[in-house]
A = this chain, B = another copy of it.
Amino acid sequence: MNELMVKAESAKKASYKLANTSTIMKNQALMKIAELLIKKEKDIIAANEIDVGNAKGKGVSGALIDRLSLNPKRIAGMAEGLYQVASLPDPVGEVITMWKRPNELQIGQQRVPIGVIGIIYEARPNVTADAAGLCLKSGNAVILRGGSEAINSNKAIVAVIGEALKESGLPEGTVQLIEDTRRETVVEMMKLNKYIDVLIPRGGAGLIQTVVQNATVPVIETGTGNCHVYVDCDGDLEMGERIIVNAKTSRPAVCNAAETLLVDEKIAAEFLPKALKTLKDMNVEIRGCEKTRALFSDAKPATEEDWSTEYLDYILAVKVVGGIDEAIEHINKYGTRHSEAIITNDYNKARRFHQEVDAAAVYVNASTRFTDGFEFGFGAEIGISNQKLHARGPLGLKELTTTKYIIFGNGQIR
Chain A residues with a Cβ under 8 A of chain B: 16, 19-20, 99, 101, 105, 107, 112, 114-115, 193, 197-198, 212-213, 216, 218-220, 236, 239, 242-243, 245-247, 250, 332, 354-356, 358-367, 369-371, 375-377, 387-390, 392-393, 402-414
Contacts and interface: CB of A to CB of B under 8 A. Distances in A.
Contacts of A332: 16
* A contact patch SS: mixed
A360 to B, nearest CB: 6
Contacts of A193: 212
Contact of A414 (B101, B364, B369, B414): B369
A375 B413 contact: no
Contact of A403 (B377, B392, B407): B392
Contacts of A213: 216
Given A377-B99, A404-B359, A367 B412 contact: yes
A402 B393 CA distance: 11
A356 B407 contact: no
B242 A411 contact: yes
Contacts of A16: 332, 356, 358
Contact of A358 (B115, B362, B389): B115
A73 B298 CA distance: 71
A343 to B, nearest CB: 9
Contacts of A406: 354, 362
Contacts of A20: 355-356
Question: Which 9 pairs across A and B sit closest by C-beta, in order of nearness?
Answer: A366-B409, A246-B413, A388-B402, A366-B412, A369-B414, A390-B390, A365-B409, A361-B405, A218-B389
A159 to B, nearest CB: 29
Contact of A387 (B107, B218, B371, B410): B218
Copies of this protein in the complex: 2
B220 A212 contact: no
A414 B375 contact: yes
A389 B198 contact: yes
Contacts of A387: 197, 218
B413 A242 contact: yes
A399 to B, nearest CB: 10
A13 to B, nearest CB: 10
Nearest to A406: B354
A300 B399 CA distance: 46
Given A198-B389, A413-B243, A218 B216 contact: no
Contacts of A393: 403-405
Contacts of A410: 365-366
